[in-house]
Structure 1
Amino acid sequence: MTETRSRLRADAQRNVEGIRQAALDVFRLGGLNTPLDEVARAAGVSKGTIYHRFGGRQGLIDAVVTDLVAEYISGIMTSVEAITDPVERFESYLRKIWLLQYDEPASNDVLLRALPGSEPLTTLCEHASEFAGRLLGEAQATGRIRDDLTPDDLYLLIWERGIIARACDQQPRDGYQRRFEYTLSGLRTPSVASV
């Protein structure tokens, strides 16, 4: 009896890990709104098994969000912290976040707050917003970034870039990147932008 129970638990754990890995693969390609049927198919289980093991889409997303997105965003924060010039740090953060939105549909969904009911996603977004706000303040203190730019403006610029990445998924990456450089130059104070 105990051996059977242990075997069932081991099978259930393998099942859960298989679903998690399938969700990571599927969400990376198609974003967080990819139908659960695709995750189930990739995992070789029924959709009902996903509901049984994770309680549905929200539970599954909450179970994979750290592996799916948090590591990318934390990596960006760590890499830009090493930059000493506040304006370069601020602009590098935006460049990296905007490219993440283009390259990773699931990350874009997180930054667009496509699933506001997810506590891990909300916490991650709030942390990223606070970090971006700090970088903005430090960059503005140099006088080289517009002083009328607010943290809310910054959030909306990230949100708008995400909408553009989602709506224009056929645009080449270098064109997307070239166009966001225009946005960055508009964030500089007029005397700096014209230099």
Structure 2
Amino acid sequence: MTEPAPRLRADARRNVEGIRQAALKVFRTGGLNSPLEEVARAAGVSKGTIYHRFGGRHGLIGAVVEDLVAERIIGIITAVDAIADPVERFEEYLRRIWLLQYDEPAANDVLLRTLPGCESANVLCKRASEAATRLLVDAQATGRIRGDLTPEDLHLLIWERGIIARACGHHQPREGYERRLEYTLTGLRTARG
């Protein structure tokens, strides 16, 4: 039988929560590869304290990814699953995921798998990928989405959008980014679409 983890003192719990809140802020604006020094500075602790409390970057990401990204991605999946038309459901999923990549650098990092050793981020990316594949298959069954579009193609389209969002950042107006998303969606439709 394993012994329960020791209970943290009140000041240590505040310290851990302060690091979590700082990580949420830093990762939200700069992505998951933001320097841990920035998180430490924002939390008012040393980088060593982050390693002591979380075991490093992956442990810290694991402690915040649910609040930072998972709610958004799972929220998108849940929202689009409520749409009746399979093609609308598929297109709305892509539209929302692509906009999330533009708006949230940390979500983009998860979808681009920039931290391959981070299990919590990989699980979330896999969940998003499985949802995209399911939505693609349902949309293709209508005959209105290209039958030659594969799950791998779809993954690469999401990956490409992430690279574009990262490269252009907010130097590219959101309206233009959204307009170009619609061109891509149009290209996925058949003549019947």
Segments of 5+ residues of structure 2 without an aligned counterpart are 1-5
1:61 aligned onto 2:65: no
Corresponding residue for residue 46 of structure 1: 46
Q: Distance in 2 between matches of 1:155 and 1:168?
A: 20
Corresponding residue for residue 106 of structure 1: 106
Corresponding residue for residue 82 of structure 1: 82
Tell me whether 137-146 or 122-131 shows the greater mean CA deviation: 122-131
Residue 192 of structure 1: how far off its partner (Å) = 3.2
Corresponding residue for residue 3 of structure 2: none
Tell me whether 57-66 or 17-26 shows the greater mean CA deviation: 57-66
Give the aligned residue type for 2:177: Y
| TM-score for both structures, normalised by structure 2 | 0.94
Matches within 5 A, 1:88-127: 88-127=88-127
Q: Alignment partner of 1:33: what SS? A: coil
Deviations 1:100-126 (A, max 9, x none): 000000000000000011111111111
Corresponding residue for residue 180 of structure 1: 181
Q: Distance in 1 between matches of 2:29 and 2:41?
A: 15
Q: Distance in 2 between matches of 1:42 and 1:192?
A: 53
Contact 2:143/2:192, CA 8 A, preserved across alignment: no
Corresponding residue for residue 30 of structure 1: 30
Q: Alignment partner of 1:192: what SS? A: coil
Q: Alignment partner of 2:34: what SS? A: coil
Give the aligned residue type for 1:172: P
Instruction: Report percent identity of matched pairs.
Output: 77
Structure with higher Rg: it is 1
Q: Distance in 1 between matches of 2:39 and 2:117?
A: 20
Aligned length: 187
Give the aligned residue type for 2:183: Y
1:156 aligned onto 2:138: no
Segments of 5+ residues of structure 1 without an aligned counterpart are none
